[in-house]
Structure 1
Amino acid sequence: MVLRTELRRSIAPWAGLALVVVALGFLFLLSGPWWKAPAPWTAHSTTTALWLRFLLVFLWPVVVGAGAIQGMRDSRSGVVELLATTSRPGWQRAAKLAGAVGGLSVAGFLVVFAVGAVEILAHDGFFSLGFMPVLLVGSLGVLAGSWLGLAVGRLLPHPLAAPGAAVLAFVLTILCWMSLETGVDPVLPARVGPLAPTLAEPRGQMVTTTVSLDLGQAAWFLGLAVTAFLLLSARSVRARLLSLLPLVAGVAVALPLFPAVPADALTIDGVAGRQVCDGPICVSELHRERLAALDRPGREALAMLAKLPDPPARIEEQVAAPSVTGPGPRDPHVVYLDFQRNDVLLTAGAGDLRLAVLSGAGVPSCLRPSVGSLPDQAARAIAAAYFTGKLEPLPEYTRNWFKREFPAVEQVWAKFRALPPEVQATRIAALRRSLLTCEGEPLDTLVPGALR
């Protein structure tokens, strides 16, 4: 009965609703990175949970601020002294309020994930239970933030307490996010980053949080939640000081478990990233349906590449998240295909799949994903044409841009074809070495001075 009253009289329903509206507003009204390769939020349930954790950059301050507004209720009503004289223990009344506000805030967080789950099913995405640790730790972080706001509102019943708590939570969350985000100059050490429930943007569809990160954050948010609840119900200075012990214990347990570098916060998802192979050709469980499509063109391409010195013998999908600062993995004996960054391959036919394997003589580009280079694409396209006899735009996300520059590339191709066969073979081998070591200009190894 008391809990039902709190649900009606408190800010709890509005806190949960605000979280849902803000989160879905970001996801459906803004064309953010969550819609795009390499990690669309409807591709995999764990990716959906990771994007939701990223959105806590904006959601957690809302939760903390809403809790602070509710925490000032008794002071605004002028009943603090009256309630202090009642015989009922303070923790019982605090439990009803904390349960209502914290419970509906967590419910709002879970509703957003439920919408994401519907989107996954509607877009034929991959669903596994690997999202559970990511979502549960995020829910615990939301609960801790809600109770922290309640405690702040009760201890500092000032009109500026709620907006101040929200702004401070936003600033601290941004600083923690920066320490985990690749390519951003951090202000705080990486070990401090997980103290906020937000995570860096997922850079791939087959990554998840590490066990140590989950355990560390669970211990920290549990300690924070217990301390916030004790502060909410404590009536003496001594009790408030003792309330800080769970917080200290949580920090002591969590910090050694937190990653020393941002890259250690995420790892390959053991379910979605598991290899599914048919002979020398392997794809991830996430893209199992591509194995049949890749089988025949992949074997044909490997047979063509066999004329190279020390040729590749396998084709594997790259399951690691694509790097934003450097080239992807390379191995002289393996041709890596990146279905995450280059999502054109998810619907490519046999011809384009064969061309993707032959691109760069079986070696991917050395450039960062955000860098487009005509000489780089020209070199890899000419290398593929060496085996097929026909110059074609590569099946990549920049194909349309490359088509506009195609006449200039055709002139380079004509010069290369005019070379004696043994010279062509030598230069293709040199291009392959250049791409494997990421040293030199690949196009210059084929036709020196081309496209300058």
Structure 2
Amino acid sequence: MRILGIELKRTTALVVGVLIVLLTVGMLSWGPSTKVSTAWTRQWTTMAEWIRFMLLFSWPLTLGAGALQGLRDRRSGVDELFASTPRPRAQRVGWTLGALAFGVVAGYAVVFAVGAVQVSSATDYFHWGWLPVLLVGALSLVAAAWLGVGLGRLVPSPLVPPVVAAAGVALMTLGLGRTEDGFPLTVLLPSVPLPTTVYATVAGSVSASEAVWFTGVALAGFLLAALRRRRRWAVLPLLVAGAVVVPLMPATPEEARAADPVAAELVCAEQLCLTRAHERERAALAGPAREALRLLAKLPSPPTSVREVVVTKTDVVQLEGRGPEPTDAVWVDLDEFTYFRKTPPTSEQVTTYMLAGAGVRTCYGDYIPESVAREVAARTVMAAWLTGRLEPLPRYRAWLGGEIDALASQAWTALRALPEAEQTARVQAAREVQAACSGDALTTLTA
């Protein structure tokens, strides 16, 4: 242990560990990783996946730091001296590699600890399915450090660290798209795709295959660093790992993911059904749900419960809108109105969201059609009929506001001019049109 302590002081181990913490936590503290239900501080699964995703930056850094460490003997002018000693090179190099492994894993563990403290206070849903994803990330960092040392010893040039770091960045970019084209090979990258759902995670078979692969990479780096001659043997672990892993790789992104049915299980109490992953939000949503159901009782066929939608999309972008939904419940997608944010919405805002479209969700997906203003106007008028006051839906004030306001005002005036029974019938009909995503709800309200 005394030798390990000396190596920790003399090598880049602690420095690269600190850099991993600063880089990863800094990058995770802003941008997409802090938003919606898949934020890295909200669920254990998404936390592990976000930390793995950030290997896009920390893995090349570790590779370059390892290569810099591999140049130490040559830079110190003791390479020939150590080569003349009878002590096995593997024994001496082992302490250096152990120090590097300790440094990068310690940095990785600190990042996990920062996320774990926040996740534990944000959700009541705990499971161990995220652990293999996290552990494979730690193994990949060890493999990067050891491979870097091996490459630095193989080609002892000052240009090697920046070159291998740049090559690592280029390699990581291959995993950003992860479409059907060439997907299987991207599974062997250290990073994982952006988390898009809390109801699925990396399949266990994929994590096992990645563990085998990165073990092979680590052994290859060890052999490059430890062998004085016959360094071609370092290719052997890669060949063996590749022969084991390649036949097991999934063919599509869907096969690389495993559903989490426990997280998606609906837990119902007092007409409010939330997934187990989001059950902690019950206290905040119970009041708005009761108020929305009370107002919706004005309809001839009112919904009887508020139920969370289980969104299991695995693509980063979902262009298509939803399909038809039953009208016996108010279906709520908490991400649809950005419920998860630093400043939570007020109870009034949540109630307004539930009442929009008379308790029916929007039909469009990430692709916004030209007719979106008509749909939003119809949803605004249906909510106004329930509350008795015409107010714009807050989410849409930043864009198309003028057009939506004009359409909603005209439709509201026309609807209010009708007898009360006719108003009720038209709102009910428009609700059914919106639920089926077939037809124009605004025309149904005003024709």
Shift of 1:397: 3.7
Which of 326, 331, 346 matches 2:325?
331
Shift of 1:274: 3.4
Alignment partner, residue 383 of structure 2: 384
1:211 equivalent in alignment to 2:208: no
Alignment partner, residue 18 of structure 2: 17
Q: Which is further off, 413-422 or 244-253?
A: 413-422
Which of 363, 367, 371 matches 2:364?
367
Q: Distance in 2 between matches of 1:270 and 1:423?
A: 44
1:151 is paired with a residue whose SS is helix
Alignment partner, residue 198 of structure 1: 191
Alignment partner, residue 34 of structure 1: 33
Q: Distance in 1 between matches of 2:265 and 2:291?
A: 22
1:214 is paired with a residue whose SS is helix
Q: Contact (CA 8 Å) 2:187, 2:210: kept in 1 or not?
A: yes
1:179 is paired with a residue whose SS is coil
Which of 185, 189, 194 matches 2:182?
189
* AA partner of residue 49 (structure 2): L
Shift of 1:433: 5.5
Q: Contact (CA 8 Å) 1:204, 1:340: kept in 2 or not?
A: no
Q: Which is further off, 220-229 or 254-263?
A: 254-263
Provide, for residues 59-102 of structure 1, a one-character-per-residue CA deviation record: whole Å limited to 9, x for no partner. Answer: 11101000011112223334334333433333222221111112
1:356 equivalent in alignment to 2:349: no
Q: Contact (CA 8 Å) 2:320, 2:367: kept in 1 or not?
A: no
* AA partner of residue 360 (structure 1): G
Which of 314, 335, 340 matches 2:335?
340
* AA partner of residue 353 (structure 2): A
Shift in alpha-carbon separation, 1:16–1:224, aligned structure 2, 3 A = same
Structure 2 stretches lacking a partner, 5+ long: none
Shift of 1:385: 3.8
Counterpart mapping for 1:295-306 below 5 A:
296-297=290-291, 299-300=293-294, 303-304=297-298
Provide, for residues 153-205 of structure 1, a one-character-per-residue CA deviation record: whole Å limited to 9, x for no partner. Answer: 1112122111110001101101122216xxxxx8x511122221112222244
Alignment partner, residue 411 of structure 1: 410
Alignment partner, residue 183 of structure 1: none
* AA partner of residue 112 (structure 1): V
Which of 123, 126, 148 matches 1:128?
126
1:282 is paired with a residue whose SS is strand
Counterpart mapping for 1:26-425 below 5 A:
26-28=27-29, 31-120=30-119, 124-126=122-124, 128-130=126-128, 131-179=130-178, 189-237=182-230, 240-270=231-261, 272-278=263-269, 281-291=272-282, 293-294=285-286, 296-297=290-291, 299-300=293-294, 303-304=297-298, 307-308=300-301, 315-321=306-312, 324-328=318-322, 330-333=324-327, 334-344=329-339, 352-369=349-366, 371=368, 373-394=372-393, 397-398=395-396, 406=405, 408-419=407-418
Shift of 1:25: 2.8
Q: Distance in 2 between matches of 1:170 and 1:75?
A: 26
TM-score, normalised to structure 1, is 0.83
Shift of 1:438: 4.1
The alignment of Structure 1 onto Structure 2 pairs a total of residues equal to 433
Aligned Cα RMSD in Å? 3.3
Q: Contact (CA 8 Å) 2:295, 2:387: kept in 1 or not?
A: no
Shift of 1:55: 1.3
Provide, for residues 188-237 of structure 1, a one-character-per-residue CA deviation record: whole Å limited to 9, x for no partner. Answer: 51112222111222224444322232222222212221222222212322
* AA partner of residue 367 (structure 1): Y
2:307 is paired with a residue whose SS is strand
Q: Distance in 2 between matches of 1:444 and 1:264?
A: 43
Q: Distance in 2 between matches of 1:277 and 1:407?
A: 40
Q: Which is further off, 254-263 or 169-178?
A: 254-263
2:267 is paired with a residue whose SS is strand
Q: Contact (CA 8 Å) 1:6, 1:100: kept in 2 or not?
A: yes
* AA partner of residue 131 (structure 2): M
* AA partner of residue 228 (structure 1): G
Shift of 1:132: 1.8
Q: Distance in 2 between matches of 1:434 and 1:108?
A: 54
